[in-house]
Amino acid sequence: MRQELNERPSLFYGLRLRHALALLICLGLILVLAGYFAVSAGTRASLESVMAQGRALTETLISSAEVLIETDSQITSLAIDNLINKVESLRPQSAVNIRGSLDDWRRTLDAERLGLVIKRQLVASSFSRKSDSYDEAIRGWLDSLEIDPESDIIYDFQTIAQEKILFSYFPLSDTAGLFAAINWRYGQYGNEKLSLYNLLNQVGQESGIEYIVLQNQDGIIFASKKVASMPKLMEDPFLIESLKSDTTRSRLLTFQDREVLESVHFFRAGDFNGIFRVGLSLYGYRQITSGVKRQVWLVVAALIIVGMLVFATIIGFQSYEFLRAGFHKSRVMSQSLLDSIPGPVVAVDSGLSLTDINAMARNRFGISQAMATAHYTTLFPDDPFHFRQVMESQRGANFERVLGEDRRRYFVTTTPLVGFDGASIGAIAVAQDITDSRRLENMAESRRRLSELGALAASMAHEIRNPLNAIGITIQRMKNEIVPAGSKEEYLKFIDLLRAEIKRLNDIIDKFLAVARAVRPEMSAIDLNELVRGLIELFENQARHQGTKIAFTTPIDGLTIEGDKAGLSQVLINLVKNSLEALEKNGEIKIEVAETGDKVHIIVIDNGPGIDDIPSALKPFFTTKQGGTGLGLATASKIMADHGGEIIIESSPGKGCKVELILPQRRSA
């Protein structure tokens, strides 16, 4: 252990200050040279990166624009074909038959306006809403319409009240046809996400993009919101050359007093020829290059500071390693010490969070290693170690408590933990298992009492029964030989009362002798379920009569024990009888069985007034009932001792009573 405490951390140990300073100076020179070359390389790489971003963005915009235009064209074509099919399905044969069907046809075509046109005049129509702007636009469109009777449809798009409307004409003859105005909700007009304008406008708002312009020889087709004006395409030699190139070209220029990198690419869509121009801000690029330059000199300055701090860092690191290793060793030693304690040990901080719990406590209370960091109230909701009381009063507590699923008895010592400032920082509880010692003490005390009672009982039985026998003979003679002066019926009733009291005294003596006499029980296999159910049947009528519920709540199939059936029945009868006598109306008695390890537990619970003096309750002749002998629980305790078991009573005034019988277990095959 001494060698471990004196062991030094290997990292940095033996490294001298002059060596460290020389190393740092060399490293500083290398970093200065590396920084100088990094500035040049970084500047070039940053500019190339911006140019690559510009090319990628421009080519992506062109690709997306082509897809959007093609998609919109296909969607429009499909929608027009569908419209033609709908009109053909209506099969209009003549203008005469159309007038009465216009309303139904308009709803079928989902049109805003449907009308019959003869010689470019709308002679009959059906509409969903009346609008003068519609009427003017329709008249103007029909007047300018070039009609081809062989066409399936003649259409054009109009914008009315900020809505895209399809004006369509379906020739029926040389002079007549159907006109339909349909609110167009297909392609880019039905879904804003499919419009080229939306795409370019969204991209143009991204950070780092100064402008996006779609331009041809006639002028600007589209420009982002940042663009007020641009030189004409034919006035710029660079743009003229870009019209002839199939690749993206880049250049540096000034836009609105800001330096930008412009990427230009030729764009063709149908009959349209033009160029896309994307301007990227060089503000970030300039920041990067100036930042790199600053960093070079900051590194040089930082090296001077680092050189002053490096030795202190090494010493600090070594100190930290010493402290960490020492803390780890103390923690291991502390845990080893706790684990070496034979009883459970539990410690908490002031917030009732577990800080320490030894191996015995984890094993006894079924706490896994992962649960050992849980909150104390989660694992022990009823606070069995009285931590709250001890921390509030700042005084230790010593008490006995039954803990764990195996119901063992512990002597618990809980001590408060106090910090340097006198404030509570937690508490620690050490529990000593006294189950076996208490059992041995009780057995020794029971044997002592039984030995004394045996001698006393034999003497008392002899001394008391002789006079009782004489009194019994005298009473018999009085009944047979003496003629009463008064009522004979009253006289005989008096004689029977005397004989009953003599019999009761003899019964008390028999019970007393049974408690004191050492009797070896007749052991046999007993089915616990059968034993408990027979007991409930015995008291069922009495319980129902006084309004008490009696139930067997936890039967376990196939659970048997080795015991004296008559003796154990007598124990349970005494317990249930005591509960019934203690309960008033609406009382409740529950009988439970459980098994833990090699033990079987039979538990009788009632919600009666409870027992004030538990230690005295197991003593002979102690009773709180009028007319009771005080031998019921003493007899039960004697029978349990004969079976190698024990009886545990838990009760407090006004909170009911719980009597637990613990016996050796035997499972049936």
pLDDT digits (tens, 9 = 90+) for 370-412: 777 778 888 888 888 888 888 888 888 888 888 877 677 888 8
Overall average pLDDT of the 322-346 stretch: 71
Level-2 CATH architecture, domain 91-190: 2-Layer Sandwich (3.30)
Overall average pLDDT of the 515-541 stretch: 79
How many CB atoms are located within 10 Å of the residue 437 CB? 12
Overall average pLDDT of the 200-213 stretch: 77
Q: Which run of H or of E encompasses 602?
A: strand 599-606
* Sole residue written with tokens 């074909």: 81
Level-2 CATH architecture, domain 524-667: 2-Layer Sandwich (3.30)
Task: Of 465, 455, 565, give the one whose Cα is nearest residue 507.
Answer: 465
Q: Does residue 81 register a pLDDT over 70? A: yes
Band of the pLDDT at 604, cuts 50, 70, 90?
A: very high
Q: Which run of H or of E encompasses 288?
A: helix 283-340
Q: In what order do the strands lie in the sheet with 219-223?
A: 219-223, 209-216, 272-281, 258-269, 249-255
> Considering only the top CATH level, what class is 341-433?
alpha beta
Q: Does residue 622 register a pLDDT over 80? A: no
**pLDDT tens digits, 584-601:** 778 899 999 988 878 899
Residue ranges of the chain assigned to CATH 1.10.287: 438-516
Overall average pLDDT of the 436-453 stretch: 68
- Beta strands 258-269 and 524-527 are unpaired
- Per DSSP, 626 falls in state T
Give the amino acid at 424: S
Q: Does residue 139 register a pLDDT over 70? A: yes
Write the DSSP assignment of 432-494 as a string of letters: EE-HHHHHHHHHHHHHHHHHHHHHHHHHHHHHHHHHHHHHHHHHHHHHHHPPPSS-HHHHHHH
Q: H-type helices in 91-205, by residue range?
A: 102-109, 132-143, 187-190, 196-204
Q: Does residue 480 register a pLDDT over 70? A: yes
How many CB atoms are located within 10 Å of the residue 410 CB? 23
Q: Which run of H or of E encompasses 18?
A: helix 17-90
Residue ranges of the chain assigned to CATH 3.30.565.10: 524-667
Residue ranges of the chain assigned to CATH 3.30.450.190: 91-190
Rounded distance between C-alpha atoms, residue 376 and residue 624, angstroms: 41
pTM of the model: 0.37
Residue scoring higher pLDDT (590 or 436): 590
High-pLDDT (> 70) share of the chain, % = 77
Two structure tokens written together for 152 = 């399936």
pLDDT at position 666, please? 61
Residue ranges of the chain assigned to CATH 3.30.450.20: 192-286, 341-433
Q: Which residues partner with 602 through β-bridges?
A: 593, 661
pLDDT at position 603, please? 92
Rounded distance between C-alpha atoms, residue 213 and residue 253, angstroms: 15
First-residue to last-residue Cα distance in the chain = 55
Q: Which CATH number fits domain 192-286: 1.10.260.40, 1.20.1050.10, 3.30.450.20, 3.40.50.80?
A: 3.30.450.20
Give the amino acid at 564: D
> Considering only the top CATH level, what class is 438-516?
mainly alpha
pLDDT at position 605, please? 92
Rounded distance between C-alpha atoms, residue 616 and residue 253, angstroms: 106
Q: Which residues partner with 410 through β-bridges?
A: 401, 433
